[in-house]
């Protein structure tokens, strides 16, 4: 049996993963030979499990096409090539890298009859050894943000050396205590060892690589090389600003005016060394799981990575025991856990694995947050919670005309236009409904907008039209204001000619979510005490622990996103990203659907506002 690095990372999640992966691969065989290795009563369980993996028509529900990933793949591939291109500036020797995995350097080892193998993104051969460089389409921010703020100054646990490479303070020969207390340094460093954490996720990957490589060298009698090898991550530079130069129509990522390259290298040699014993234990666990192939239910945990992009692909199977709506996961702030009468704290996972699956399974005595008590009551009675006074007072903040505004953006890993950074949320569409007087707005006649028809830099056209349409007085109503406010500030910095107007629009923003979910500072300024100001203003059972507009809209209308050809932000992004590949007919059709989707977003705000008004009239 052979296991790649990616399989190793998944197989080591839990014993059930290996068994389910095997069961899925062997679907037909498993169904035929069930009696051979399963007791009769287990047969039904396996059928149920397979039922969650395939629908009635036999369509695969686990390995579904990830269109989001597909449109991002060319950019991820470019990150690897840019890292390979820039590596000689930071390292000496020869380099081997390729967009094709098969052309990359590879290592493998056999331990207890299992073969482990990995490919190296950038193999850098030096005089007496080599460096391993893994390219990741993430940014330096995840690593450099590990640190401590002191007297307004932030000190990271990483520092940039004279060679331009980032390394831990201790590895750079610096006295850690000159930067932060040792305890805080160790606490932040320990996050690199949390394989399910933001930065730790990438470090674990590199450590598995190191483990396979070292065992390969040991098997080939090259043990003396081991201490000479260094391990790096190549990641996107969070400070890099694209200057807008192109060659043959493609962005030219030269060093920016502040001296930043688009890729940074982080030396994780000492961290991955400290990881080796842990990886060896994980390897033994994986070997045991493969031997046992035990597909029995396994406690749910952090390793499922539910709701993360790295979510285990079998969540559909294992998490199906939780009700789809109003499960324990719908309790707001539930990640802080729950306490029993004796003050013993339980995590959500502990409760789930003890059989507390729905909101109502959790005894009221364990609900220590008032908001959770209200949520429970709402679900029990199926009657919404409404704080009439707070909602009415929120309305008083609105001034007419109301400009209902929404942006669609493309968070491209590589900046595409002048002034953008890596993963800038590049605005390609805005939708605007103008409500000139209270309740007076027509879905079609009062709708305006802009949608970039291609991938050329259309930002100025978009900004110009938006500035012409939105007046200086009135309220600019958005849903979840930090997103729109940040985009407007970024555009103001890029287009000085429109700066004042864009900042004016930003100043006039009011967040409709404040009226639904509350905003403590707003309601405190309106005279509410802190406790009242913090409590949400509206909650209905169907919201399922979420204040997203898509959850709130159906409460006030029969409008729905279900059935729309483009029905969520990811589909919008994927459609825009695919424009250049579409033929004329398909493009025109998708363009229209995208306009329709964005129009629905701002119309939804008008409808929700009207609905709330009617509710507290
Ligand atoms: S969803 Fe969780 S319990 Fe199920 S296989 Fe994945 S990691 Fe294991």
3-state secondary structure of 48: helix
Distance 16 CA to ligand 1 centre (A): 6
- pLDDT over 60 at 393, yes or no: yes
Q: Per-residue pLDDT tens for 182-214?
A: 999 999 999 999 999 999 999 999 999 999 999
Assigned token pair, 468: 């012409």
The residue whose CB lies within 8 Å of the most ligand 1 atoms, and thus the one to mutate among 282, 318, 319, is 318
Q: Pick from 231, 168, 167: which is nearest to 205 by CA?
A: 231
Residue 115 lies in a domain: no
DSSP state of 541: G
Tell me what pLDDT residue 102 has: 73
Mean per-residue pLDDT for 81-109? 90
The residue whose CB lies within 8 Å of the most ligand 1 atoms, and thus the one to mutate among 10, 13, 329, is 13
Q: Per-residue pLDDT tens for 536-575?
A: 999 999 999 999 999 999 999 999 888 899 998 889 999 9
Asked if 97 and 123 touch (Cβ cutoff 8 Å), the reply is yes
- Cα separation, 617 vs 137, in Å, equals 51
Residue 112 lies in a domain: no
Q: Pick from 472, 482, 546, 478: which is nearest to 511 by CA?
A: 478
Residue nearest to atom 2 of ligand 1 (CA): 304
Whether the model pTM is above 0.85: yes
**Counting every residue, how long is the chain?**
617
Is the preceding omega at residue 401 within 30 degrees of 0, hence cis?
yes
What CATH number has the domain bearing residue 493?
3.30.420
Whether 546 and 515 map to the same domain: the answer is yes
Residue 111 lies in a domain: no
Distance 335 CA to ligand 1 centre (A): 19
Mean per-residue pLDDT for 79-99? 94
Residue nearest to atom 3 of ligand 1 (CA): 300
Mean per-residue pLDDT for 408-435? 96
Whether 230 and 161 map to the same domain: the answer is yes
Whether 263 and 354 map to the same domain: the answer is no
Distance 308 CA to ligand 1 centre (A): 13
Q: Per-residue pLDDT tens for 216-247?
A: 999 999 999 999 999 999 999 999 999 999 99
Residue 416 lies in a domain: yes
Confidence of residue 309 (pLDDT cuts 50, 70, 90): confident
- The last residue of one of the domains, among 278, 306, 334, is 278
Residues with a CB atom less than 6 Å from ligand 1:
13-14, 16-17, 20, 298, 300, 303-304, 312, 314-315, 318
What ligand 1 atom has the least distance to the C-alpha of 312? 6
Asked if 587 and 417 touch (Cβ cutoff 8 Å), the reply is no
What ligand 1 atom has the least distance to the C-alpha of 13? 7
The residue whose CB lies within 8 Å of the most ligand 1 atoms, and thus the one to mutate among 14, 62, 286, 311, is 14
What ligand 1 atom has the least distance to the C-alpha of 300? 3
Assigned token pair, 336: 């802080």
Tell me what pLDDT residue 61 has: 53
Tell me what pLDDT residue 308 has: 86
- Cα separation, 425 vs 394, in Å, equals 29
Instruction: Provide the number of structural domains found in the chain.
Output: 4
Distance 306 CA to ligand 1 centre (A): 9
Residue 375 lies in a domain: yes
Distance 24 CA to ligand 1 centre (A): 14
Whether 152 and 48 map to the same domain: the answer is no
Tell me what pLDDT residue 164 has: 97
Asked if 378 and 544 touch (Cβ cutoff 8 Å), the reply is no
Q: Using DSSP, how many helices (H) and how many strands (E) does the chain show?
A: 23, 23
Alpha helices in 193-321 (DSSP H): 200-219, 269-292, 315-318
Tell me what pLDDT residue 101 has: 72
Whether 514 and 423 map to the same domain: the answer is yes
Distance 528 CA to ligand 1 centre (A): 45
Tell me what pLDDT residue 45 has: 47
Q: Per-residue pLDDT tens for 239-272?
A: 999 999 999 999 999 999 999 999 999 999 999 9
Whether 351 and 440 map to the same domain: the answer is no
Q: Per-residue pLDDT tens for 330-342?
A: 999 999 999 999 9
Whether 488 and 343 map to the same domain: the answer is no
3-state secondary structure of 568: coil
Which of 54-58, 61-65, 521-525 has maximum average pLDDT? 521-525
- Cα separation, 374 vs 383, in Å, equals 11
Distance 221 CA to ligand 1 centre (A): 38
Mean per-residue pLDDT for 134-156? 95
Residue nearest to atom 5 of ligand 1 (CA): 17
Q: How do 2-4 and 114-120 pair as beta strands? A: parallel
Burial of 112 (0-12, 13-18, 19+ CB in 10 A): exposed
DSSP state of 351: H
- Cα separation, 98 vs 103, in Å, equals 6
- Cα separation, 317 vs 298, in Å, equals 11
Whether 294 and 418 map to the same domain: the answer is no
Question: Percent of the chain scored above 90 by pLDDT?
Answer: 84
Whether 298 and 218 map to the same domain: the answer is no
- Cα separation, 475 vs 485, in Å, equals 13
- The last residue of one of the domains, among 330, 352, 383, is 383
Chain-centre distance for alpha carbon 339:
29
What ligand 1 atom has the least distance to the C-alpha of 313? 6
3-state secondary structure of 18: helix
The residue whose CB lies within 8 Å of the most ligand 1 atoms, and thus the one to mutate among 298, 299, 310, 319, is 298
Whether 501 and 376 map to the same domain: the answer is no
Whether 379 and 421 map to the same domain: the answer is no
The residue whose CB lies within 8 Å of the most ligand 1 atoms, and thus the one to mutate among 293, 296, 300, 322, is 300
- The last residue of one of the domains, among 383, 399, 419, is 383
CA 410-196-228 angle, 5° bins:
100
Assigned token pair, 601: 């977003």
Distance 378 CA to ligand 1 centre (A): 31
Residue 573 lies in a domain: yes
3-state secondary structure of 159: strand
Whether 433 and 550 map to the same domain: the answer is yes
Q: Per-residue pLDDT tens for 117-132?
A: 999 999 999 988 899 9
Structural domain harbouring 235? 71-106+120-278
């Amino acid at each position: 049996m052979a296991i790649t690095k990616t399989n190793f990372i998944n197989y080591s999640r839990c014993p059930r993963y290996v068994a389910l992966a095997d069961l899925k691969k062997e679907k037909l065989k498993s169904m035929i030979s069930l009696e051979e290795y399963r007791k009769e009563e287990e047969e039904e369980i396996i059928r149920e499990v397979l039922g969650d993996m395939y629908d009635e028509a036999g369509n695969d529900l686990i390995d579904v096409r990830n269109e989001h990933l597909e449109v991002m793949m060319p950019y991820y591939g470019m990150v690897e090539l840019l890292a390979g291109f820039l590596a000689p500036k930071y390292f000496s020797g020869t380099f081997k890298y390729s967009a094709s995995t098969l052309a990359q350097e590879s290592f493998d080892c056999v331990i207890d009859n299992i073969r482990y193998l990995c490919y190296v993104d950038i193999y850098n051969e030096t005089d007496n050894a080599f460096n391993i460089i893994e390219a990741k389409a993430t940014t330096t921010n995840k690593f450099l943000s590990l640190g401590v703020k002191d007297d307004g100054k932030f000190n990271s646990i990483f520092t940039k050396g004279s060679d331009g490479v980032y390394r831990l303070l201790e590895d750079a020969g610096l006295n850690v205590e000159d930067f932060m207390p040792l305890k805080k340094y160790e606490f932040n460093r320990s996050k690199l060892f949390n394989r399910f954490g933001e930065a730790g996720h990438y470090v674990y990957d590199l450590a598995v690589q190191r483990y396979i490589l070292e065992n390969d060298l040991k098997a080939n009698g090259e043990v003396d090389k081991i201490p000479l090898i260094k391990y790096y991550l190549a990641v996107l530079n969070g400070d890099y600003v694209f200057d807008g130069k192109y060659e043959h129509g493609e962005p030219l990522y030269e060093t920016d005016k502040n001296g930043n390259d688009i890729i940074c290298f982080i030396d994780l040699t000492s961290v991955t060394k400290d990881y080796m014993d842990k990886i060896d234990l994980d390897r033994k666990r994986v070997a045991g799981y493969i031997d046992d192939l035990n597909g029995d239910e396994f406690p749910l945990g952090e390793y499922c990575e539910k709701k993360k992009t790295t979510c285990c692909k079998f969540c559909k199977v294992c998490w199906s025991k939780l009700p789809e709506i109003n499960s324990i996961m719908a309790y707001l702030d539930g990640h802080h856990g729950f306490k029993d009468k004796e003050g013993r704290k339980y995590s959500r996972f502990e409760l789930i694995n003890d059989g507390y699956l729905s909101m109502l399974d959790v005894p009221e005595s364990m609900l220590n947050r008032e908001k959770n008590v209200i949520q429970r009551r709402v679900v029990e009675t199926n009657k919404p919670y409404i704080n009439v006074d707070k909602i009415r007072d929120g309305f008083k903040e609105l001034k007419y005309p109301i400009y209902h505004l929404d942006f669609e953006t493309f968070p491209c890993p590589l900046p595409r236009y002048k002034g953008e950074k890596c993963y800038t949320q590049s605005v390609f569409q805005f939708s605007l409904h103008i409500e000139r007087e209270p309740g007076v707005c027509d879905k079609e006649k009062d709708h305006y907008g802009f949608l970039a028809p291609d991938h050329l830099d259309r930002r100025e056209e978009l900004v110009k039209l938006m500035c012409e349409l939105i007046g200086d007085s009135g309220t600019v109503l958005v849903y979840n204001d930090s997103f729109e406010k940040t985009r407007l500030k970024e555009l103001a910095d890029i287009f000085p000619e429109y700066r004042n107007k864009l900042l004016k629009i930003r100043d006039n923003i009011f967040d409709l979510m404040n009226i639904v979910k509350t905003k403590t500072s707003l309601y405190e300024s309106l005279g509410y005490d802190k406790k009242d100001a913090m409590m949400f203003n509206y909650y209905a059972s169907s919201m399922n622990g979420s204040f997203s507009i898509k959850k709130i809209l159906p409460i006030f209308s029969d409008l729905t996103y279900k059935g729309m050809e483009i029905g969520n932000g990811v589909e919008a992004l994927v459609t825009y990203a695919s424009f250049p590949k579409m033929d004329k007919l398909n493009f025109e059709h998708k363009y229209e659907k995208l306009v329709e989707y964005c129009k629905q977003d701002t119309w939804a705000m008008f409808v929700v506002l009207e609905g709330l008004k009617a509710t507290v009239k």
